[in-house]
Chain A
Amino acid sequence: MAQDAGIDTPAADSGSGDGALESGGVRRRDFINIAAVSAAGIGGLAVLYPLISQMAPSADVLAEATTEIDLAAIQPGQAIKALFHKQPLFVRNLTAEEIKKATDVDNNPAEFATLRDPATLADRTKPGKQNWLITAGVCTHLGCVPLGAGPGEEMSRGAFGGYFCPCHGSTYDTAARIRKGPAPRNLEVPPYEFTSDTVVKIG
């Protein structure tokens, strides 16, 4: 308080100087106070924004990248891991039996209704290329790399024959759909296209 501090401030009703009441009952000093505090507040927020924003992915990380993958060497039943956006990508050549396992679910409404994240194998592959299951190799639970695509992992594909995440037990089927465990969604299908019969461009 001005009085407490012993500063001589003209009383509000003294009729002149800084303390004078303007027509609306607002003192000039009130206006200066509000203006100064607002400026400091807005200034503070303006400084905060870059401080928060600097932590977001930087331009080089965001720069669009595409990857080309040659499928010729991948035998039916086999899968490979590629790198896309610094994260693993699964490319799997489904066997006829594995395709049937997935489409059996699609064609059985009762079973299809039990899917946590409903989608058919056709939704998740390209027309005429149903055997090529291309998904992110990142478990939708907390981001581990599921087993089933690496060399020697054919025996670790879990109860539904697709992929099995060792971290907390999420189990994916042969369309990489989540069937059991804590993951909420199917393995993500990235944007991709076939540039020839045996080459796909991811991204």
Chain B
Amino acid sequence: MSFPWAKQYTPSHPAMVWLDEKLPLPRLIYGAVGAGYEVPRNLNYMYNFGFMAGLCLMIQIVTGIVLAMHFAPNSAIAFDSTEHIMRDVNWGWMLRYGHSNGAALFFAVIYLHIFRGFYYGSYKAPREMIWLLGVVIFLLMMATAFMGYVLPWGQMSYWAAQVITGFFTAFPLIGDGLKEWLLGGFAPDNATLNRFFSLHFLLPFVILGVVILHIWSLHIPGSSNPTGVEVKTKADTVPFHPYYTAKDGWTVGVFMVIYGLFVFYMPNSMGHPDNYIPANPMQTPAHIVPEWYFWPFYAILRSFTQPLLFIPGKLMGVLAMFASILVWFFMPWLDKSPVRSAKFRPLYRKFFWALVIDVLVLGYCGVSPPEQPYILLAQLATIYYFAHFFIIVPLVSSIERPEPLPFSITEAVLGHDGQAALAAKG
């Protein structure tokens, strides 16, 4: 949004004046991510992950497009063409490791971005739409990552396709037909690989479109901040450029170091060795687990081993797994506290960290074999997960006594804010 004190774009070079009249693209950029966009002065590093997520999306698109120049989406040769990329194509190994590790780090960044939202109440009015679009982005990311994982047509690829499309067989009556329609057959095969390739190529551009909407809706109220107090005066903000371009640039550098460590020194650390075995429809690997970023959801899926309320365990598991993400859509309305930031919400803050631990426990159960005590642990953690959203959050927001909020962002930063006090009087 442009606060009244935001700088206006004033081109000086005649060519830029000419362009500004015909197509004001530089003006758009100046106002959206340049000196014309005013941002709270007190954002901490948790607010850098949105920018890093954008970078990750770009990395995935660039490495993905070049990989597609060498990959063959045919079940007879897909595995070999992947090995061809690894061994024969110039820099192919780097591009492929860059794409697979890039996907994993993209999820790491997104989880930090989402939990930043939970902590600082970023989903609250007037930023509900930013949050809702964010959840849509996350769902699209999951679909994209899954279909990408199927492409190399190794054992884990094949069985991921089988098990994940199997989710849909849980729905009564239409389930089996739905799975066959998704796969284009009774089991994953060439038809499946072909369509997954087509969609895996498409979806990142859909994500890009939703990210543009996400940022558009962000720019209407502008970013929130760690105090959760809205911007009041010019003293509360600084221009995005150069202040946040520089700050985001610094964390991009840190990100690239970590990314480089994975790509060059431990490229397979997050992968699964079974995926270097070509797909075999006759043999399921002894221990199938998804990539780490799906472990918590996988644990929820598996924790329904018995029918519940006459609903078969399989259907309950699938419904619970979908619900565990869909419930995020309701956060803006489940959390009724008028105070945004957990910094001033002593009770919510404790439950926030309890949720973090709960999700880590779920992740741990998700990667463990489906045996006791992990099944029981996953069941308890699943109950707690849903209790957090449906019981704890609404309850806490109505009984909690928040701590006093600072008068303004400037007061929170400097300890005093003469201007804001005057502005409030006048």
- Interface set of A (CB-CB < 8 Å, partner B): 55-58, 61, 81, 83, 85-88, 116, 137-138, 141-147, 150, 165-169, 180-184
Contact = CB atoms under 8 A, between A and B. Distances in A.
Given A85-B187, A182-B304, A184-B315, 10 more contacts: A56-B180, A57-B184, A58-B191, A61-B186, A86-B281, A87-B187, A142-B314, A143-B165, A144-B159, A167-B163
A201 B242 CA distance: 75
A55 B181 contact: yes
Contact of B184 (A61, A85, A87): A61
B184 A56 contact: yes
B287 A166 contact: yes
Contacts of A146: 284
Given A182-B302, A182-B314, A184-B313, A167 B185 contact: no
B162 A142 contact: yes
Contacts of A56: 180-181, 184
Nearest to A166: B286
B186 A85 contact: yes
B166 interface: yes
A181 B304 CA distance: 9
Nearest to A81: B282
B186 A55 contact: no
Interface of B: 159, 162-167, 169, 180-187, 189, 191, 195, 281-284, 286-288, 301-302, 304-305, 307, 312-315, 317, 370-371, 375
26 contacts: A55-B182, A56-B184, A57-B191, A58-B184, A61-B184, A61-B185, A61-B186, A83-B282, A85-B187, A86-B185, A88-B281, A88-B282, A141-B166, A142-B163, A142-B164, A143-B166, A146-B284, A166-B284, A166-B287, A166-B288, A168-B302, A169-B305, A182-B302, A182-B305, A182-B313, A182-B317
Contacts of B166: 141-143
B185 A145 contact: no
Contacts of B187: 85-87, 138, 143
Nearest to A83: B282
A183 B183 CA distance: 21
Which 9 pairs show the lowest CB-CB distances between chains A and B?
A142-B166, A169-B370, A143-B166, A144-B284, A142-B163, A145-B284, A143-B162, A184-B312, A182-B313
A137 B143 CA distance: 27
A150 to B, nearest CB: 7
B200 to A, nearest CB: 15
Nearest to A53: B181
Contact of B189 (A61, A143, A169): A61
Nearest to B283: A145
Contacts of A61: 184-186, 189, 191
B180 A181 contact: no
Contact of A167 (B181, B189, B288, B312): B288
Contacts of A58: 184, 191
A55 to B, nearest CB: 6
Nearest to B164: A142
Contacts of A180: 305
Contacts of B304: 182
B388 to A, nearest CB: 24
A57 B162 contact: no
A172 to B, nearest CB: 14
A16 B167 CA distance: 63
A169 B302 CA distance: 9
B162 A144 contact: yes
Contacts of B301: 168
A202 to B, nearest CB: 14
Contact of B314 (A87, A88, A141, A166): A141
A180 B283 CA distance: 21
Given A57-B184, A184-B312, A144 B282 contact: no
A180 B305 CA distance: 8
A122 B180 CA distance: 30
B146 to A, nearest CB: 14
A126 B167 CA distance: 32
Contacts of A184: 312-315
Nearest to B168: A142
Contacts of B315: 184
Contacts of B302: 168-169, 182
A121 to B, nearest CB: 23
Residue among A88, A150, A165, A168 with the highest chain B CB neighbour number at 10 A = A168
Given A85-B186, A144-B159, A184-B312, A167 B284 contact: yes
B170 to A, nearest CB: 8
